[in-house]
Amino acid sequence: MSTEAVDFDLNRLEKGRSLWQDAFSRLKKNTLAMGGLVFLLLLIVLAVLTPWIAPYSYEEQNLMLGATPPSAEHWFGTDIFGRDQLTRILYGSRISLMVGFIATAVALCIGVTWGTIAGYIGGRVDALMMRFVDILYALPFTIFIILLTVVFGRSMLLLFLAIGAVEWLTMARIVRGQVMAIKHQEFIEAAVAMGMSRPRIMFKHVAPNVLGPIIIYTTLTIPSVILLESFLSFLGLGIQAPQSSWGSLISYGVETMEEYPWLLIFPALTLSMTLFALNFLGDGLRDALDPRVSKD
Amino acid sequence: MKNFGIVVALLLAMVVLHGCGEKKLNNVEYGIRNQILYYANGDEPKSVDPHLITGTVENNIIINLFEGLTSKDAKTLEARPGVAESWTISEDGRVYRFKLRENARWSNGDPLTAEDFVYSWRRALNPRLPNAYAYMMFYIEGAEAFYKGENTDFASVGVKAISPHELEVTLKAPAHFFLQLLDHHSYYPVHGPTLEKFGGVEDPTSRWALPENFVGNGPFVLKRWEINKVVELDKNPHYWDADVVRLQAVHFLPIDDQQAEERAFRSKQVHLTNTPQMDIEKIQVYRKDRPEVLRVIPTYASYYYEFNVQRKPFDDARVRKAFALAIERDLLVKNVTKGGEVPAYNFVPPDPEGYTPQIYWREDVEEARRLLAEAGFPNGEGFPVLTLLYNTHDNHHKVAVAIQQMLKKNLNVNIQLENKEWKVYLAARKNVEHDIARAGWLGDYLDPSNFFDILRSYAGNNNTNWKNPRYDELMNTIEATSDPARRNELFEEANRILAEEMPVLPLYFFVDINLVDTSVKGWYDNVMHFHPLKYVYLEASEP
């Protein structure tokens, strides 16, 4: 028994463990984070499969039926047009998750690159890049999005890009601050001394070391983006009826919460559970990815 | 211990003061005490210039700021003396001679004379002023020619000031509703010197109708106007009949969200709501719990969608008809609007005074599909995605969502929904930028011509681009006809043209559903959504 175990360990030692393997093994020990991950994966699977598994059509109305509380046929009840609430939440998750992830990914890509470059190079380049961010910050967000939609018309893709293009600003600032903080640390200086190229240092050594704050901020961005979409939909800029998103379901649910509480409760519950899952996962990931945590 | 005592005293003081704060009067109680009416008016008004406004939001305010020659009775809608204290009508029903009150005054104290009316009507008919209601004055002899620029001499128009207090009006043909029509805002007088001071009669952006410059002749004057907050009216001390006006002030609140409106009423922030419809889902609750404040009144008004008939494929009457036939109105009124609306198969609502339009079509999905196929879109194939425009409002949204789905289900046609804020929506409709737009028409006077006239080729409120010479001709003939039976025949012919051409898609006839606190007295229900505040007052209901 004991020799076997030692052999196994030796094998692993030989192979070496990457940051990600390391992180995942640590993540696995975090029950909350794993729970969040499982929930999210399940949600994504459901969202992808929605067209095949949804019990009803999301747009077909049954006006005679109207709003009914949860029942055996309609688990989450029906809305005032007699549409199945469960189906609409499922279809809504497709849009909301897509907006959440794609827009956040856009924000992440631009924000991290921008922030890393500005923070690492510093000096005039930094000043110039950050003033640009300041200018965009000063632009009223709603007007900016409205302008974009007026110019390019209403499309889902544009919505993702527009939200992402606005959300990266904070990301860039956070990353820049972090990069400034670590760029004079020894391991960077070592890399410089060894003659690594600047881009390689930036993205191989600097960026991974600011992952913690990035991940935290990302998990915060996803929910805010999901909510932002609902706000834009309300303005008539986001998704269009009869499509649904969680945000739009909630905003209509709020209006009738006294008469038909289930129209608010279920989408709100789904959204908040997703946000919890994202936060737990983000929390776990940050702990797991932090390279400063000593390896066990 | 001393300190402790101070702390206790302070805490007590806070509790007591807090209690006082809570007892602060709500708007309803404060209003009853001071005769200030808080009025939920649905939206931000565009203007209070009587020759520029088009909507009910504006009309609700303006009927209190101005007074016409006559003034409609709030209960019966009969024409009663207004600025004119009496009048005579010639044998042939064409010449009206009004005797104006000697004590009629503008709100700045200036005397109000017959010349003021001549000046105002001349302005209302000025072709360079974007007055959508100019055609309402075409009953007057020569008015149409003047408006169209065929005659630039206003002396040719049948309005003459015989003396400072005598006005003679000559009509093209007798119109039994003319006295009632005089209480319409297009006939209201405006104060010449003020207008001249702020850019003259033709300037639609003139500042004369702003609170600091405003001069009117009604029971109230414009006091304060804060955009998106309040339009405040004060009692007009110079009004000739100021003694009977009991309200000291009125606050019109532009609450465009129905939930917010209903909550404002429930928490006693407003005395009443006077908006086209209230929150649908709340109707049942009020019916059950507080029937005494719920007012449901059938209205002389039509809810419809207007096509832009120049936009393909709506240039084809078959497509328009297919749309009209594919909508299940019974379902719509019973399950979506839920207020007791009447499904409409005509543009014109049945007239309480006699004309009942015939029905030429009903819902017929098969026929609708056939028509659409005939127009080149079998099973909706190849039909472009068109946009339905409506003003941001919950009920309009609900109706639009239901109709979107009916068209999809019955015709396999996809339409997009687009909502816009009131002023933007009005502008888009006025310039006919839409494919299909929601519209509503509330009778200005009790006669079918009020509805039919909208669709004349040149009418300022015809937002469809639909032009039909035969229809225009009919309207002209109706104008010149006074025999009621003959008029009804002509109306029917016009109605048949509309049924064949379908420039507008009738949906239902409105009911007015409003909440009115029991402390509001002198507020009467009528079919025209007409609620002047001259005789309204507030009185606490028994405890």
Q: Which two tokens stand for residue B39?
A: 């009025």
B473 membership: H or E segment, kind and range: helix B469-479
Mean pLDDT rounded to a whole number for chain B: 89
Residue-level pLDDT at B299: 87
| Cα–Cα distance for residue pair A242/B397, rounded to 1 Å | 11
Calpha distance A115→A129 (Å, rounded): 9
| CA distance linking residue B263 with residue B513, whole number of Å | 16
Q: How far apart are CA B60 and CA A217, in angstroms?
A: 51
Q: How confident is the model at residue A248, as a pLDDT?
A: 84
* Mean pLDDT, residues B330-348: 91
Q: Which residue has the higher pLDDT, B63 or A164?
A: B63
Distance between CA atoms of residues B481 and B173, nearest Å? 7
Instruction: Flag whether A197 is in a domain.
Output: yes
User: Which of A142-151, B3-12, B166-175 is least confident?
Assistant: B3-12
pLDDT at residue B13 tops 70: no
- Look up residue B136 and give its DSSP letter: G
- Mind listing the pLDDT tens digit for each residue in B459-471? 888 999 999 999 9
Domain for residue A63, yes or no?
no
Domain that holds residue A147: 18-58+80-288
Of the candidates B323, B287, B326, the one whose C-alpha atom is nearest the C-alpha of residue B305 is B323
CB contact under 8 A, B336 and A63: yes
Based on its alpha-carbon atoms, the radius of gyration of chain B, rounded to whole angstroms, reads: 25
Q: Is A242 on the interface with B (CB under 8 A)?
A: yes
Contact A81 B402 (CB under 8 A): yes
Residue A141 has pLDDT above 90, yes or no: no
In a domain, A131, yes or no: yes
Of B281, B334, B420, which has the smallest distance from its Cβ to A256's Cβ?
A: B281
Q: Is the pLDDT of residue B19 over 60?
A: no
pLDDT in tens, B204-245: 888 999 999 999 999 999 999 999 999 999 999 999 999 999
Distance spanning both ends of chain A, measured CA to CA: 22
B417–A241 C-beta distance less than 8 A: yes
Chain B contact for A138 (CB, 8 A cutoff): no
- Report yes or no on A12 lying in a domain: no
Q: How confident is the model at residue A9 (pLDDT cuts 50, 70, 90)?
A: low
Nearest-by-CA chain A residue for B286: A259
- The whole-angstrom separation of Cα B167 and Cα B120 is 13
**Residues whose CB falls within 8 Å of the CB of residue A250, separated by 6 or more in sequence, listed in order:** A230, A264, A267, A268, A271
Name every chain B residue with its beta carbon within 8 A of the beta carbon of A254: 259
Residue A166 to residue A235: CA distance in whole angstroms: 17
Contact check, Cβ <8 Å, A255/B331: no
What percent of chain B is modeled with pLDDT above 90?
Answer: 64
Of B331, B323, B506, which Cα lies nearest the Cα of B411? B323
| Angle at the Cα of B41 from the Cα atoms of B35 and B46, rounded to 5 degrees | 120
User: Is A63's CB within 8 Å of B331's CB?
Assistant: yes
Distance CA B67, CA B220 (A): 10
pLDDT at A236 over 80: no
Residue A98 domain-assigned (yes or no): yes
CB contact A240 to B (< 8 Å): yes
Strand B436-442 relative to strand B294-307: parallel, antiparallel, unpaired?
A: antiparallel
pLDDT band with cut points at 50, 70 and 90 for residue B5:
low
A65: in domain: no
CATH number at residue A156: 1.10.3720.10
CB of A61 within 8 Å of any CB in chain B? yes
Determine contact: A62 vs chain B, CB below 8 A: no
Beta bridge partners of B294: B515
B contacts of A80 (beta carbons < 8 Å): 280-281, 336, 398
Q: What's the gap in Å between the CA of B418 and the closest CA on chain A?
A: 7
Write down the pLDDT at residue B498: 94
B284-295: per-residue pLDDT in tens? 889 889 999 999
| Nearest Cα to Cα of residue B246 among B525, B35, B475 | B35
Q: Is the Cβ of A150 closer than 8 Å to some Cβ of chain B?
A: no
Which residues in chain B touch residue A64, judged by CB atoms under 8 angstroms apart? Answer: 331, 335
Residues of chain A in contact with residue B417, where contact means CB-CB under 8 angstroms, are: 236, 240-241
Task: Report the candidate in B265, B232, B224 with the shortest Cα–Cα distance to residue B250.
Answer: B232
Contact state of A260 with B281 under an 8 Å Cβ cutoff: yes
Lowest mean pLDDT among A233-237, B472-476, B481-485: A233-237
Q: Give the residue with greater pLDDT, A188 vs B507.
A: B507
Contact residues on chain B for A242, CB-CB shorter than 8 A: 401, 404-405
Instruction: Provide mean pLDDT across the span B113-124.
Output: 95
Residues of B with Cβ-Cβ distance to A59 under 8 angstroms: 405, 408
Write out pLDDT tens, residues B87-109: 999 999 899 999 999 999 999 99
The answer to whether B65 and B174 have CB atoms below 8 angstroms apart is no
Report yes or no on A49 lying in a domain: yes
Name which residue leads in pLDDT, B213 or B543. B213
| ipTM surpasses cut 0.90 | no
- In angstroms, the Cα distances linking B25 to B34, B45, B267, B379 are 12, 28, 11, 62
Residues of A in contact with B408 (CB under 8 A): 59
A261 touching B (Cβ < 8 Å): no
Cα angle, residue A118 at apex, residues A114 and A122 outer, rounded to 5°: 175
Residue B476 half-sphere exposure toward CB, CA atoms < 13 A: 10
Our count of domains for chain A comes to: 1
Closest of B297, B274, B287, B218 to residue B520, by C-alpha: B274
| pLDDT tops 80 at residue B441 | yes
3-class DSSP state of A197 = coil
- Name every residue in B having a CB less than 8 A away from some CB of A: 259, 279-282, 285, 328, 331-332, 334-336, 392, 394, 397-398, 400-402, 404-405, 408-409, 416-420
Contact: A241, B404; criterion CB under 8 Å: yes
Whether A153 contacts chain B with CB within 8 A: no
Mutate: best of A150, A254, A255, A263, partner B, most B CBs <10 A: A255
pLDDT tens column, A32-71? 989 999 999 999 999 999 889 888 888 888 888 888 889 8
Q: Rounded CA gap, A162 and A260, in Å?
A: 34
**How close A198 comes to chain B (CA, Å)?**
50
Residue among A59, A63, A231, A248 with most chain B CBs within 10 A, to mutate? A63
C-beta separation of B219 from B245 below 8 A: yes
Residue A295: inside a domain: no
pLDDT value of residue A20: 72
Q: Which chain A residue has its CA at the smallest distance from B331's CA?
A: A63
Question: In angstroms, what separates the C-alpha of A105 from chain B's closest C-alpha?
Answer: 29
* Percentage, residues of chain A above pLDDT 90: 21
Residues of A in contact with B337 (CB under 8 A): none
Confidence grade of residue A1 (pLDDT, cut at 50, 70, 90): very low
Average pLDDT over residues A136-144: 81
In degrees and rounded to multiples of 5, residue B88 shows phi and psi of -125, 150
> For residue B259, which residues of chain A lie inside 8 Å, CB to CB?
254-255
Q: Is the minimum CB–CB distance between A81 and chain B shorter than 8 Å?
A: yes
Cis amide bond preceding B484, omega within 30: no
Say whether A63 and B335 touch across the interface (CB within 8 A).
yes
CA distances from A13 to A4, B198, B244, B401 (A): 14, 89, 99, 63
Overall pTM surpassing 0.90 (yes/no): no
Stretch among B10-19, B194-203, B442-451 having the lowest mean pLDDT:
B10-19
Q: Are B430 and B454 in contact (CB under 8 A)?
A: no
Number of H helices and E strands in chain B, helices first, is: 17, 19
Q: Is pLDDT of B21 > 70?
A: no
Q: Bridge partners of B463?
A: none
pLDDT in tens, A202-227: 888 888 788 878 887 888 788 788 87
Q: How many residues does chain B have?
A: 543
